Amino acid sequence: MAGIDTGGGHGKGRATNHEIPLIPFIDFLLCLVAFLLVTAVWSQMARINADARVPGPPKPDEEVEKQQKEKQLHVEMRGERKFQLVWKEGSTVVNTIDVERKPVKVGEETRYPDLAKKISEEWTANGSHRAGTDQKLDQAVLHTDNSTQFHDVIAVIDAIYTPQRDWNPPGGGAPKKIPSFNVTFAVN
Amino acid sequence: MSEKALSRFEQPISVPGRRLLHHIPLHFVVKKVVGGGHRASNHEIPLIPFIDFLLCIVLFLLASFSASGELPIDKNVQLPKAENVLDMTEAPMVAITGTQILVDGVPAGNTRAIEEANRLQRIDELFNILKNKRELWKQINPGKEFPGVAILQVDKKVPALVVKSVFQTAAFAGFPNISFMVGRLGGPGGEGGGH
């Protein structure tokens, strides 16, 4: 067993040699391990981002900069048989691509791998923000039917987030992979 | 005299020591215990590495310990799953369960009016609660920029109209950075959905 041996201990005073009680210590550690294991949270939850591009409370002290019109990818999911990908610059339609709506079941979830593939190809061909130093993301606008169920909306957002690009954080640090698009909802 | 008196109370049995090896006349036992030329059957349990191992486990579990406990997920809510996801963050939780809307467990309106009107509209109760939360945050953290993050916990069967109404209401209340709570779908769960 573990102990503290000072080499003395023959005098009349209190003994200087001590045995460390390891067994109670191990019991204590085991109790601690058991408690922490029981109370541990093994969460599988995550989040998927969306950006609301609607005006918030006005800030009179900030001057609104006039922004150059950028290409935006509008993902139309109102059709029952197909998705429509529309590249727009402001209100000008640049290009329209139809993608067949082929849902693939993964367990209980619906996925759209064809849509994800097509969006990746489209971003490679037409994406504006590719450089790692570019802090902006390309914008995707999702158009949904009012009655579309939420899990279908998430499946399409997930497909939009499939293409990824390198990104260097502004304060330095290791480059990261981030999605190429930022998703928002169309109001109409 | 005194020695005689002491001897009356002398203990014939001494307190046993820790080892049985040397003072036991049973030679076959001694031979067996020391191994008798073979491998010793007497073993010391290596306690120090065992304690080190336990300490490592304790430290790991303490590091990953969450005092706030599990994320509050309503039992009636079935969340969808996604692949390109981000880790959860701490933010006001807006849950849509059936027809009820809750902000951090507090009722904040219902969705019936939206479904009946069948058009996008602001939910006043939700708007007021979120606005109050925003103002409270600003009072507690003066001079700091408000992150404007809210997490929507939405059942997978809720129609998009309700989701968009809640989304827009949150944005009007000063929470433009919305995240949807989802489950991780297979794979390593790479990063996604903004930075």
Mean pLDDT is highest, among A64-78, A163-177, B40-54, B171-185, for B171-185
Spatial separation of the C-alpha atoms in residues A121 and B145, rounded to whole Å: 37
- List the single residue in B with minimal CA-CA distance to A149: B159
Is the pLDDT assigned to residue A37 strictly greater than 50?
Answer: yes
The two tokens of residue B98 are 């059936």
Spatial separation of the C-alpha atoms in residues B181 and B153, rounded to whole Å: 5
Spatial separation of the C-alpha atoms in residues B10 and A110, rounded to whole Å: 87
Mutate to test the interface with B, among A150, A152, A180, A185 (most CBs of B within 10 A): A150
Q: Would you tell me which residues 126-155 of chain B have a C-beta closer than 8 angstroms to some C-beta of chain A?
A: 148, 151, 154-155
Per-residue pLDDT at B135: 92
Please tell me the total count of domains within chain A.
1
b/e code B2-37 from CB counts within 10 Å (16+ = b): eeeeeeeeeeeeeeeeeeeeeeeeeeeeeeebeeee
Is the pLDDT assigned to residue B86 strictly greater than 70?
Answer: yes
Name every chain B residue with its beta carbon within 8 A of the beta carbon of A161. 84, 192-193
The three-class DSSP label of residue A21 is coil
Mean pLDDT (whole number) for B68-92: 77
Q: How does pLDDT run across B155-188, given as a tens digit for each residue?
A: 988 998 999 899 989 988 989 889 999 888 764 4
Q: For residue A133, give Cα distances in angstroms to A116, A128, A129, A176, B68.
A: 25, 13, 9, 11, 37
Residue type, A68: Q
Spatial separation of the C-alpha atoms in residues A59 and A152, rounded to whole Å: 36
Handedness of CA B89, A51, A77, A84 (dihedral sign): negative
Whether A23 is in a domain gets the answer no
Continuous segment of H or E residues that includes residue B95:
strand B93-97
A148 touches chain B (CB under 8 A): yes
Binary contact (B156, A151; C-beta < 8 A): yes
Name every chain B residue with its beta carbon within 8 A of the beta carbon of A22. 47, 51
Is the pLDDT assigned to residue B128 strictly greater than 70?
Answer: yes
Cβ-contact B81, A109 below 8 angstroms: yes
Binary contact (B195, A176; C-beta < 8 A): yes
Whether A97 is in a domain gets the answer yes
Catalogue all structural domains in chain B, each as residue range(s) with its CATH number: 19-63 (no CATH), 81-184 (3.30.420)
Q: How does pLDDT run across B12-62, given as a tens digit for each residue?
A: 677 666 665 556 567 776 666 666 666 666 677 788 888 899 999 989 888
| Percentage of chain B modeled with pLDDT above 90 | 12
Binary contact (B176, A52; C-beta < 8 A): yes
Give DSSP secondary structure letters for B69-92: -S----TT----EESS-B------
Cβ-contact B130, B103 below 8 angstroms: yes
Name every chain A residue with its beta carbon within 8 A of the beta carbon of B57. 33
Spatial separation of the C-alpha atoms in residues A103 and A155, rounded to whole Å: 9
**Tokens 């951090």 sit at which residue?**
B104
Domain limits at A84? Answer: 71-185
- List the single residue in A with minimal CA-CA distance to B73: A45
Whether A177 is in a domain gets the answer yes
Residue A10 or residue B169, greater confidence:
B169
Binary contact (A43, B70; C-beta < 8 A): yes
Give DSSP secondary structure letters for B98-154: TTEEEETTEEEEESHHHHHHTS----HHHHHHHHHHHHHHHHHSTTSPP--EEEEEE
Q: What is the DSSP letter of A149?
A: B
Spatial separation of the C-alpha atoms in residues B130 and B114, rounded to whole Å: 19
Name every chain A residue with its beta carbon within 8 A of the beta carbon of B179. 47-50
Is the pLDDT assigned to residue A155 strictly greater than 90?
Answer: yes
Q: Would you tell me which residues 58-97 of chain A have a C-beta closer than 8 angstroms to some C-beta of chain B?
A: none
> What are the start-end ranges of the H helices in A52-162?
113-126, 150-160
Instruction: Tell me the ipTM for this assembly.
Output: 0.72
**β-strand partners of B182:** A46
CATH number (domain holding residue A98) = 3.30.420
Whether A14 is in a domain gets the answer no
